[in-house]
Amino acid sequence: MKIIILGAGQVGTSITEILSREAGGDITLVDIDEARLSLLQNRFDIRTVHGHASHPDVLREAGCDDAELILAVTNSDETNIVACRTADFLFNTPKKIARLRSTQYFTEDTDFIKEGLGIDHIISPEQIVTTELLRLIERPGALQVLDFAGGRIQLVAIKAYDDGPLVGHHLRELKDHLSNIETRVVAIYRQGEAIMPDGETVIEVNDEVFFIAATEHIRAVMSEMRKLDKPVHAIMLAGAGNIGFRLAEALEQKNYTVKLIEQDPERAEEVSKHLKRTIVLVGDSADEELLKMENIDRMDVFCAITNDDEANILSAMLAKQLGARRVMSIVNRTAYADLIERTMIDIAYSPKQATIGSVLPKFRTGALEAVHSLRLGTAEAIEAIALDDKSSKVVGRRIEEIPLPKGTIIGAILRNDDVIIPHHDTVILDKDHVILFVQEKKHINEVVGLFQVSAFFI
């Protein structure tokens, strides 16, 4: 499939990296930064075009005439819109995906986006990041929370502590502890190494446990791995950027007490106009006095979300030091995320992974609902729809008969709105939403291939 990606920023580069390694993803990358393009061209098997992403001649040079998809992810909403409109009008490009940051565009009805702006799909990384952060704040103790089947099923990563009732016991005892709750532990990471769990596996302290369950059961399962924290009331956010602002807005609606620190007085004033109950503070989030004065030791959650990785990490560490119960930090660089695991920061959240997870399904077959990266992108969780077809390798088969690659587990199935935690003899039916955990990313194509109805890409 011929794909044009506009904008070689973080999202554009990450998508390029993933798709260019797959067969069939012929990528042309457009950007105004020539040095960056030549760097990327040396790293990936792609073509690059230097120029303004929304100009017709640049799009023409990039091969828009016969491209099947354009992904506009420059850092300007307006450039993205004009590029999609241009591709729509001049080149009739079949599929146009754009990133839009400003929520103002979403307020009109859907025809406006599709007909008016010429965009088929909008991706809004800030929106995704905000919801994921919100889930993490609301699920104390979880390292990662991912939604599947429209929120009916969740996959949660949690660290096991010695106060959890199941810790030190065999996994099969989970059934005795929670008699009427079904869950599936899909992976355990012990000191960074993956373990394939079975009934005999004993959960140890500090294990990272990944499990899948119906959303309403998540809390009960989590409480088996560690004593749950008290519910969250007070939250302090550092950084009033797009994400900080949205997060504060969402949190105050849910009646949390929110404090938002912003360094730039103008920005602080601007967000304070739109927020109702949040206390907006002007100052440095790494200022010890300010944090103390605002009762950092009484905060249930401290969340550092500026766009500066280093500042986030340091202010989160400081907050923890000063007594904040749980601290979170946004970290964009993968290398940092790895380092942080050994510090006192409770959760390092990578917005990059979340964004990619939301975009990737749009490039893959229609049978794929969601793709989420886990463990810094080494593992993936996917939601695929089993469609009946003569050639289907899954429908009508028992799970033990499906040739799944090593390390791949079917964690849950959504069938007519019922969440089923499958066993080896469960038969997959037509239109089942199947949630799989793929331990090694290299197997992802193989897994997707199982669900592919015919060999078309998209």
Partner 1 sequence: MQSRLIFKVLGFLIIIFSVSMLPPLLIGWYDSDGTLQVFMQSWGVLLVLGVVMWFPNRSKSADLRIRDGFLIVVLFWLVLALSGALPFILAEHPDMSIVDAVFESMSGLTTTGATVLTGLDQLPRSILYYRQQLQWLGGMGIIVLAVAIAPVLGVGGMQLFRAETPGPMKNNKLTPRITETAKALWLIYFGLTVLCAVLYFAAGMNLFDAIGHSFSTLAIGGFSTHDASIAYFNSALIDSIVMLFMLVAGVNFSLHYLAIHRRSLRHYISDSEVKAYLLILSALSVITISLLIRDDIFPDISSTIRYGLFQVISIATTTGFTTSSFSYWPGLLPVLLIIGSFVGGCAGSTAGGMKVIRVELLLRQGRREIDRLLHPNAVLPIKLNKRPVPDSVINAVWGFFALYVISFVSLGLLMMMSGSDIVTAFSATAACLNNLGPGLGEVADNYRSVSDSGKWILSFAMLLGRLELFSLLVVLTPAFWKR
Examine residue 26 and tell whether it contacts partner 1 (CB under 8 A): yes
Element (H, E) at 218: helix 218-225
In whole angstroms, give the CA distance from residue 25 to residue 458: 11
Size of site (CB under 8 A) for partner 1 = 14
* By CB under 8 A, residue 33 contacts partner 1: no
Query: Which of residues 83 and 412 has its CB atom nearest to partner 1 in the complex?
Result: 83
From 39-47, 165-173, 280-288, 440-448, give the range in contact with partner 1 by CB under 8 A.
39-47
Q: Give the residue with the Cβ less far from partner 1, 50 or 397.
A: 50
- In the shown chain, the binding pattern of residues 363 to 402 toward partner 1, with x for contact by CB under 8 A and - for none, equals ----------------------------------------
Across-strand partners of 384?
A: 368, 434
Q: Would you count residue 14 as binding partner 1 (CB under 8 A)?
A: no
Distance of CA 125 to the CA centre of its chain: 9
In this chain, which of 9, 17, 22, 44 binds partner 1, going by CB under 8 A? 44
Q: From the list 10, 17, 22, 48, which residue makes contact with partner 1 (rule: CB under 8 A)?
A: 48
Contact 55, 72 (CB under 8 A): no
Report the site for partner 1 in 419-438 (rule: CB under 8 A): none
Longest CA pairwise span in the chain (Å)? 68
Residue choice 13, 14, 18, 28 for contact with partner 1 (CB under 8 A): 28
Distance, CA of 66 to CA of 437 (rounded, Å) = 36
**Distance between CA atoms of residues 7 and 31, nearest Å:** 5
* Shortest Å distance, C-beta 270 to partner 1: 38
Q: Is 409 in the site for partner 1 (CB under 8 A)?
A: no
Helix axes 10-20, 34-43, angle to 10 degrees: 20
Q: Is 39 in the site for partner 1 (CB under 8 A)?
A: no
Rounded to a whole number of angstroms, the minimum distance from the CB of residue 45 to partner 1 is 5
Query: Which one, 24 or 168, has the nearer CB to partner 1?
Result: 24
Nearest by Cα to 364 from 349, 345, 383, 378: 383
Strands across the sheet containing 326-330: 279-282, 257-262, 234-238, 301-304, 326-330, 347-349
Residue range at the interface with partner 1 (CB under 8 A); choices 23-31, 127-135, 294-302, 324-332: 23-31
Q: Does 242 bind partner 1 (CB under 8 A)?
A: no
Q: How far is the CB of 391 from partner 1 (least distance, A)?
A: 26
Which residue stretch of 25-33, 178-186, 338-346, 389-397 sits at the interface with partner 1 (rule: CB under 8 A)? 25-33
Q: 345, exposed or middle or buried, with CB in 10 Å at 0-12, 13-18, 19+? A: buried
| 47 makes contact with partner 1 (CB under 8 A) | yes
Which of 15, 46, 133, 371 is close enough to bind partner 1 by CB under 8 A?
46
Answer yes or no whether residue 92 interacts with partner 1 by CB under 8 A.
no
> Is there binding between residue 442 and partner 1 (CB under 8 A)?
no
If binding is defined by CB under 8 A, does position 90 make contact with partner 1?
Answer: no
User: Binding to partner 1 by residue 45, rule CB under 8 A?
Assistant: yes
Q: The tokens of 214 are what? A: 């119906």
What is the number of other CB atoms lying within 10 angstroms of the CB of residue 289?
9
Give min distance, CB of 5 to partner 1, in A.
10
Cα distance between residue 458 and residue 120, in whole Å: 14
52 sits near partner 1 (criterion: CB under 8 A): no
Nearer to partner 1, 20 or 315 (CB): 20
Backbone torsions φ then ψ of 52, nearest 5 degrees: -80, 125
Tell me if 179 contacts partner 1 by CB under 8 A. no
Question: Is 232:204 a contact under the CB 8 Å cutoff?
Answer: no
Tell the smallest beta-carbon distance from residue 41 to partner 1 (Å): 6
Supply the minimum distance, in Å, between the C-beta of residue 66 and partner 1. Answer: 9
161 binds partner 1 (CB under 8 A): no
Q: Are 24 and 47 spatial neighbours (Cβ–Cβ below 8 Å)?
A: no
CA 161 to chain centre: 25
Q: What angle do CA 253, 257, 262 make, to 5 degrees?
A: 95
Q: Which residue has the tokens 């103390």?
A: 292
Region binding partner 1 by CB under 8 A among candidate stretches 43-51, 174-182, 250-258, 326-334? 43-51
| Least CB distance to partner 1 at residue 47 (A) | 4
Q: Which residues bind partner 1 (CB under 8 A)?
A: 2, 26-28, 34, 38, 41-48
